[in-house]
Structure 1
C-alpha cells in the first residue's frame, strides 16, 4: 500500500513538471522508478516511456486549446525522430544496467548545465526588456515626447510576449500594418534579412537525436525538443512547450513498439499507477506555465535536474 501511495504522489509531481514545462517526465521518472520504487534499470526505461506517453497525452489538450501546438511542424519533427527512437531502443537493451544508469546521470548533468545557462540568459533579457519598457513609459509622460515633429521618423516599437522570441517563425503572421504578428499581437518589424524558412539540417539533427535519447534512455526528449523548436523553427517558448508534447507522443510510441520482442519486461501495475498520478499532475501543471516567467520555469527545472543528477550518480557509482 505504501508503494502505491508513493507511486501516486511522485507521479503527480512528475506530471506537474511535464505539464508546466513540456519536458522532464522521463528524466525524472527513470531515477524515481529505480531508486524509490526498486525497478530494474531496463524495465524503468521502458516503464518511463509508458508514463511519458500517457502524461503527454493528458497534457496536450490544454496546450491545444490555447493554440500552443504547431501541428504541422510538430508532426514533421516527430516523424523524423522515429528513426532515432527505433535505433536507440534496440541499442539500450544491449547496454549493461550500471553503464546505462551512469550515462543517464551524465546526461542529466549536461542538461542541467545547459538549462541553467539558458535560464540566466533569459533572465537577463527579461530585465533588459523591463528596463526598456520603463524608459518608454517615462518618455510617454514627457511633454517633449508628444511633439509631432519629433515623431516623423519613429519606427514601430516591437513588443514580445516572451523574451526568447526574437526570431520570427511559422507561428507568426504578417499584418497589414507592416508588423509581424505573433498570435495577433505585434511582434517584430518585417525585415528582408529575416529567415524565411526553418534551418532544415538543424531540425533533422535535433529530431534524430531526440528520438535516439527517447529510445535509449526512456526519456521524452522535451528538454531538447523545446529549445530546438525555438531556435530552429522560431516558435514561441510556450508554443514550443505545447508542440513538444506532440513530439513526445510520437517518439515514445515508436520507442515502445521498437522494444517489442526484446527481453525487457514492464511492471504494468506500478507503471500504470505512476502514470495515472503523472497524468493528473500534467493537467495541473499546464495552467502553471501561463503564470510563471520562462526564466523562472527554466531555472527551477535546472535546479531539479541537478539534484536528480547528483543522486543518480552517487547511487550508481557508490551504491
Structure 2
C-alpha cells in the first residue's frame, strides 16, 4: 500500500509540474520503501518515463508540445545519458546520495525564487528578447543558432543527470526552457514531459541490456505513477503555478534534509 501511495504521489507531482516526479521517485523508493539506489534506479526510470509519455501524449493532443524542440533536447540527452550511467557506476552509493541531496537543494531554491519572480517577469514578458522566441505570425519557435545551442545545452545537461542520478531531468528542463524562451508554462511542461519520457526510457533501455530486471513491487509503483499522472494532468489547469512552485520547493527542501541524514547514517 505504501508503494502504491508513493507512486501516485510521484505521478501527481509529475503531472502538475512536468519536473518534480522524476526527482521525487528515487527518494520515494529509497527513503519511503527502503530500497537501495541500485534497486530504485530502473523502477524510477520506467515509472517516470511511462508517466511522462502519458502526459506528453495528452499535451500533443492539446497542441501544447513543441515537438521539434523536444526531439532535439531528447536526441542530445540520449547521447549524454550513457556518460551519466558510466559515472554512476564509478561512484560510491554514498556519493551519489549526497549528490542527489545537493540537486534537491538546488531545485528547491531555484523553484522558490522562480515563483517569486513570476509576477515581475509577467509584466515584461512580451518585451524581453530571449534565446528562443515564438514567431507572432506562425506561433512557432524561430529557429536560429542561438536557440539551437540553448536547447542542445539543456538536453545535454538533462541527459547527463538522468544517467547519473536517474532524476528524469524535468526539474532542469522546465525552469531553463521558461527562462530562455517565451513559450507559455503549460506548453513548457508538456514539452518537458516528452523529453523526460524519451530520455528516461532510453536510459532504462541501456540498463536493461546490462541485465537489470523489475520486481512485482516495482511494477505496482509504476502503475500507481501512471494513475497519479492522469490525476495530475486533470488538476493542473486549476492550480496556481506560483503556489505549485512554492509548495514543490518546500517539498524538495524537506526531502533533501532526509537524503543528507541518510548519507550521515551511511557514514556511521
**TM-score using structure 2 length:** 0.89
- Which of 209, 226, 234 aligns to 1:279? It is 226
The answer to whether the 8 Å contact 2:14/2:232 transfers is yes
List per-residue Cα deviations over 1:173-216 (Å, max 9, x = no partner). Answer: 317xxxxxx69xxxxxxxxxxx8735333222221110000111
**SS at structure 2 position matched to 1:68:** coil
Q: Which residue of 2 aligns with 1:219?
A: 167
Q: 1:208 to 1:276 in 2, by over 3 A?
A: same
Q: 1:316 to 1:266 in 2, by over 3 A?
A: farther
**SS at structure 2 position matched to 1:289:** helix
Shift of 1:260: 3.9
**SS at structure 2 position matched to 1:290:** helix
In structure 2, runs of 5+ residues without a counterpart are: none
1:1-319 superposed matches below 5 A: 5-125=1-121, 129=123, 171-174=134-137, 197=144, 198-262=146-210, 265-318=212-265
The CA distance in 2 between the partners of 1:225 and 1:204, in whole Å, is 11
Q: 1:165 to 1:72 in 2, by over 3 A?
A: farther
The answer to whether the 8 Å contact 1:26/1:219 transfers is yes
The answer to whether the 8 Å contact 1:90/1:258 transfers is no
Q: 1:33 to 1:280 in 2, by over 3 A?
A: same
RMSD: 2.5
**SS at structure 1 position matched to 2:183:** coil
The CA distance in 2 between the partners of 1:101 and 1:17, in whole Å, is 21
**SS at structure 1 position matched to 2:168:** coil
In structure 1, runs of 5+ residues without a counterpart are: 130-157, 176-181, 184-194
Instruction: Tell me which structure has the larger Cα radius of gyration.
Output: 1
**TM-score using structure 1 length:** 0.75
Which structure shows the bigger proportion of residues in helix conformation? 2
List per-residue Cα deviations over 1:258-315 (Å, max 9, x = no partner). Answer: 224547x444312211111110110110122212232222112111111111111112
The CA distance in 1 between the partners of 2:126 and 2:56, in whole Å, is 22
Q: 1:196 to 1:68 in 2, by over 3 A?
A: closer
